[in-house]
Structure 1
Amino acid sequence: MCSNTNTNDLGLTDASCSCGTHAHNSAGATVTGVGLTTHTYEVSGMTCGHCVSSVTEEVSRLDGVSKVDVQLVPGGASLLTVLSAVELDRGAVAAAIDEAGYALAAEPQ
């Protein structure tokens, strides 16, 4: 990340960058405006609360992850939302989900 920072009306420094070079345009990712990015993935094979706990635990271990939320869809693709301070590598997320015993759904074409 570059060294640019923003200062708000209270004189507090915001770590988010306004230089425009850090666009988070990867599929499923949006910038929250405070230096955090929300990533959304679909996970197949989850059927219960234990599945949710397992995926949450493994994904939470990834560097930069601050929050994990799973919307369980038994028999379908569950929605995994990850809030992180860094851009996440899809392969690392897939590996974490695999470690929990489930699969990252194919990326839309």
Structure 2
Amino acid sequence: MATKNYTVEGMTCGHCEMSVKEEIGEITGVTSVSADHTTGQVSVEGTDFNDEQVSAAVAEAGYKLV
């Protein structure tokens, strides 16, 4: 089990957090996602996921990793 932390640009509210969490949560192997729009931080826990998958999921939600 691995935990990775990311910074997401553009999250400004709780709905933003929910969108990002939902998209990342659909990645195979991800077991937990937490997001905080006030800091822009996202924490992803799981196995067999990579940065490219997380970046693509964040983009699908309308945001980007920095």
Q: Which band: TM-score by shorter chain?
A: over 0.9
Q: Taking structure 1 as the reference length, what is the TM-score of the superposition?
A: 0.58
Q: Which runs of 5+ in 2 are unaligned?
A: none
* Secondary structure, counterpart of 1:66 in structure 2: strand
Q: Does 1:83 align with 2:48?
A: no
**Distance in 1, Cα, partners of 2:47 & 2:21:** 17
Comparing both structures, which one devotes a greater share of its residues to helix?
A: 2
The Cα RMSD (Å) is: 1.0
Q: Which runs of 5+ in 1 are unaligned?
A: 1-35
Q: Taking structure 2 as the reference length, what is the TM-score of the superposition?
A: 0.93
* Secondary structure, counterpart of 1:56 in structure 2: helix
Select 2:17's aligned residue among 43, 52, 70.
Answer: 52
The number of aligned residues is 66
Q: Matches of residues 58-77 of structure 1 in structure 2 within 5 Å?
A: 58-73=23-38
Please state how far the C-alpha of 1:91 moved relative to its aligned partner. Answer: 1.2
Larger Rg: 1
Q: Which amino acid aligns with 2:46?
A: S
Q: Relative contact order (C-alpha < 8 Å, sep 6+): which is higher?
A: 2
Comparing both structures, which one devotes a greater share of its residues to strand?
A: 2
